Structure 1
Amino acid sequence: MRRIGVVPGFAFLGRSANFEIGESVIAFRGGDPYALAILAGFLNTLKVALAGCVLATVLGVVLGVAGLSGNLLLASLVRAYVEFVRNTPLLLQLFFWIALAQAFPPPRRAISAFDALLLTNRGVYVPSLTVHGFTTWTWVTLVVVLIVTVAALRLARRDGAFHLRRSMLVVVLGIAAAAAAAPTTGASLDLDLPTLAGFNIRGGHVLTPEFAALLTGLVVKFAAAIAEIVRAGIQSVDRGQREAARAMGLREMQIMRLVVLPQAMRVITPLTTSSYLDLAKDSSLAVAIGYPDLVSVLNTTANTTGQSLEALTIMIGAYLVLNLSISFAMNLYNRRVVLRGATRA
C-alpha cells in the first residue's frame, strides 16, 4: 500500500476533499477536509432517520387504530396498504418514489396542494418559518418561559400520574406565552409560503427530490410495520378492561387513551424500537437514489483516497453510535412505561 502511495491510518481526514456534496445540513464545498465531508454525510443520515421515525410513528399509530375500526371499508383499506407495503422491497419502493419525484412538472407548471405545497421536478417546496431580530434578551425570555413550562408540567402531575389534557394545556400556554413575550424583545416570526415568480419559485423551503423520495419511502414502509405493532399491542389488552371501562361510563376515546393505550404501550414500545433501528439502517439505501448520506460520502471518500478499510470502519462506527443512541433513548422510555404500568398495578 505504501508503494502505491496509500498509507494506512486516518491521516487522510485532514486532507482536502476534491468533491462536492449536493445537499448538506452544514456548509461544505470542495476543498474542505474529508472529516467535514463525512460529518455532512452523517448529519444527512441523522436528519432523514429522525424525520422518518417521527413521521412513521404518527402515520403508523393512525393506521393501527384505523385498522381496528368497526368501519369495514376503512379497515380493509388499511389492511390492503399494510400487506402491499410490507411485502414489497424497500429498494423497489425507493425507485418508484424517485421516479415519481422526477416526473413532476418544472417550476413554472408546479402542482399546488392546499396553496402551501408546490411539487416540481426540482423538489418539493414547503412553507418555512423566518425569524427576525433575535437578541440576547429574546433567548433569555424563551429560556425563562421554558423553565416555567417544565416546572408547571411537573406540578401538573398528580399522585405521580401523567394527565394528558392538563399537560397539553400547560404546553399550549407555554407556547402562547413565548409567542406573546418574544415581540417585546424585538423578535418576529413570519411564515414564508412558496410562490411562483416568473419561471422559478420564491420563498418557502425546498426538499430535494432525493431527500423527499427517501423520506417518503421510509415513512410509507415503516408506518406499515408500526401500524401492525400498534394493532397487536391494542389487541393484547384483555377485552374485560374495555367492558369494565364502559361500565364506569367512559367514552370510547377515553377508554382508548386512559385504559387501553397505557397497557398496550408495554407491548408496542420494544417492537417500535426495533422498527426505528431498522429505519435508521435502511436509510443507507439512499445511495441507490443519489441522496448524499453517510454511505454515499464514504464511498466517494474511499474511491478518491484508496482508504477503503478506514472508510468502512468509520461507517460501522457511525451506524453503531446512531443505533445505540436510538436504542438507549427508547430503553429509557420503555423503562418509564413499565414502571408506570407497575405502579398502576
Structure 2
Amino acid sequence: MLINDTRYRSLTFQAIAAIALALIIFYLANNVATNLAKLGLNIDFSFLGAQAGYDINQTLIPYSSQSTNLSAAFVGILNTLLVAFLACITATIFGVLAGVLRLSNNWLVRKLMSFYVEIFRNIPVLIWILMIYGVMTISLSGPKAYLGAEPSKELFLGLFAFTNRGIYVPAPIWGPGSMVVVVTFILSVIAVIAYRRYATNLLYRTGKLLPTGLPTIAILLIPTIFMFFVMGQPIGLDLPDPLANRFNLRGGLQIGAPLIAIWFALSIYTGAFIAENVRAGIQAVSKGQTEAAAALGLRSARIMSLVVLPQALRVIIPPLISQYLNITKNSSLAILVGYADVTATLGGITLNQTGRAIECILLLMLFYLIISLTISSVINVYNNSIKLKER
C-alpha cells in the first residue's frame, strides 16, 4: 500500500488531507447555499450598480451621491490604500530612528526612545486614534478663526491653516506642460537612485567614496527647475483663501482631521514595534563588524549606513512584513473617527442600505486578502534580493 511505502507516504498523506479539506469546504458552501435558498435569499452582486445615495467627505476620484455603490467602494478602497501607504512610510521612519537611537550611547536619548516604545506599543491603537482625534478637535480652532479681513488667526507662513476640521494646505494647479515637468522629476528620481547605487557599488569594489549629498540634490532639483522655467512655469499653487467664503475656508487642499488621526496613530503605534525589530536586527550583527569598520577610520554614521544596517536588514525585513500587514488591517478602525475607508463604505453604509451582508463581507475579505498577499509578495522579493548568497 502507498501508506506503507516510505517513498510515497508523505505524498499520500498530503493527498488525503487535500481531499478532506476540499470535502469540508464543499459541505460548508453547499450548506450555506441550501440555507440561503430556504430563506429566499441568493448571492447577487447587482446592487453594486445601484445608486449609492450618500456623500463621502474625502475622495481621491470624482464622486457624488448619484454615483453607484461600486464607485463608493472604489473611493473607500483608494482611501484605505492612501492611509495604509502614508502610515507605512511614516511608521518606518519613526521605527528606524527610534530603533537606532535606542542603542545610542547618550543615556537620555536611549531612555526617551525606550519610553516611546513601551508607552505606544502597550496601549491599543484604537485608544491612540480616539485620543489624537479628540486632541485635534478640542485644541484647534475652527475655520472661522481664519476668515475675514481681520481674522483672529493668520495662516501659518501664509500657506497653511490648522483647524479642528483638518489642515488646509496649498494645492497644485496643473497647467499646459505640467506633465513634462512631472516626467522630468520622475526621471531625476530614477537618476538619483542609479547614481547612489553606482556610488555604493564603487565603494564596495574599490573603496573609493563618492560624494552623495550634493550630487543627489543637484540631480534631483536642477533638471526639474530648469524644465519648470523652460515650460513657462506651468504648475501653480491654489492657496487657502480666508476671504472667499463667510463660513469656511476655500481654496487649497483640505487634509481632513479623521485622515490625520488615523494616519498619525497607526504611524506612532506601529513605529514602536518596528523600532524593536530594528534594534534586534542591529544587535544581531556581530560587534566585530563595527570594530573592524571603526579600525578602517569610518565614522559612526558611515558604519551604521554602510556596514550595520545592510546586514541587519536580513533580520529586520521578515517581521517588518507583518507590521505593514497590521497597518493595512488596522486601517479598518478609521470608521471610528468618520474616515471613509472601504470598511465604512462597502462594509458599512452600502451594507446597511442594501442588506447584502454576505456579498459585502465577501468583497471586503477578498480586498484585504489581495492587499495582504500583494504586500507580502513585494517585500519577499526585496527580502530575497538582500539575503546571503551561497557560493
Match of 1:184 in 2: 230
Match of 2:74 among 20, 39, 58: 39
TM-score, scaled to structure 2: 0.77
Kindly tell me: are residues 153 and 131 of structure 1, through their superposed partners in 2, closer, same or farther at Cα, counting changes over 3 Å?
farther
Determine if the alignment matches structure 1 residue 119 to structure 2 residue 130.
no
Match of 2:380 among 323, 331, 337: 331
Kindly tell me: are residues 84 and 29 of structure 1, through their superposed partners in 2, closer, same or farther at Cα, counting changes over 3 Å?
same
Deviates further, 284-293 or 115-124: 115-124
Q: Which amino acid aligns with 2:111?
A: S
Q: Which amino acid aligns with 1:118?
A: A
In structure 2, the residue corresponding to 1:342 is in which secondary structure?
A: coil
Match of 2:96 among 61, 77, 89: 61
Q: Which amino acid aligns with 1:189?
A: I
Determine if the alignment matches structure 1 residue 342 to structure 2 residue 385.
no
Offset of residue 255 of structure 1: 0.7
Match of 2:319 in 1: 271
Kindly tell me: are residues 33 and 140 of structure 1, through their superposed partners in 2, closer, same or farther at Cα, counting changes over 3 Å?
same
Q: Which amino acid aligns with 1:329?
A: V
Match of 2:86 in 1: 51
Determine if the alignment matches structure 1 residue 302 to structure 2 residue 351.
yes
Match of 2:6 in 1: none
What is the rounded CA distance, in whole Å, between the counterparts of 1:306 and 1:55 in structure 2?
38
Q: Which amino acid aligns with 1:102?
A: T
Match of 1:291 in 2: 339
Contact in 2 for aligned 1:133/1:187 (Cα 8 Å): no
Q: Which amino acid aligns with 2:97?
A: V
Offset of residue 60 of structure 1: 1.2
Match of 1:315 in 2: 364
TM-score, scaled to structure 1: 0.87
What is the rounded CA distance, in whole Å, between the counterparts of 1:84 and 1:152 in structure 2?
40
Cα deviation per residue 1:143-179 (whole Å; 9 max; x = unaligned)? 7767766776676564696989549835741442122
Contact in 2 for aligned 1:62/1:227 (Cα 8 Å): yes
Deviates further, 162-171 or 105-114: 162-171
Contact in 2 for aligned 1:6/1:307 (Cα 8 Å): no
Contact in 2 for aligned 1:117/1:124 (Cα 8 Å): yes
What is the rounded CA distance, in whole Å, between the counterparts of 1:280 and 1:326 in structure 2?
9
Question: Cα RMSD between the aligned structures?
Answer: 3.1
What is the rounded CA distance, in whole Å, between the counterparts of 1:161 and 1:168 in structure 2?
21
Identity %: 35
What is the rounded CA distance, in whole Å, between the counterparts of 1:266 and 1:112 in structure 2?
49
Contact in 2 for aligned 1:102/1:121 (Cα 8 Å): yes
Deviates further, 162-171 or 181-190: 162-171
Tell which structure's C-alpha radius of gyration is larger. Answer: 2
Q: How does 1:1-345 map to 2 (within 5 A)?
A: 8-103=43-138, 104-109=140-145, 115=157, 117-134=160-177, 158=201, 166=212, 169=215, 172-190=218-236, 194=240, 196-197=242-243, 200-201=248-249, 203-298=251-346, 299-338=348-387, 341-342=388-389
Contact in 1 for aligned 2:185/2:220 (Cα 8 Å): no
Offset of residue 17 of structure 1: 1.1
Gapped runs of 5+ residues in structure 2? 1-35, 147-152
Offset of residue 117 of structure 1: 4.4
Gapped runs of 5+ residues in structure 1? none
Deviates further, 38-47 or 124-133: 124-133
Offset of residue 183 of structure 1: 2.4
Offset of residue 180 of structure 1: 0.8
What is the rounded CA distance, in whole Å, between the counterparts of 1:154 and 1:82 in structure 2?
33
What is the rounded CA distance, in whole Å, between the counterparts of 2:232 and 2:344 in structure 1?
43
Q: Which amino acid aligns with 2:288?
A: G
Deviates further, 122-131 or 257-266: 122-131
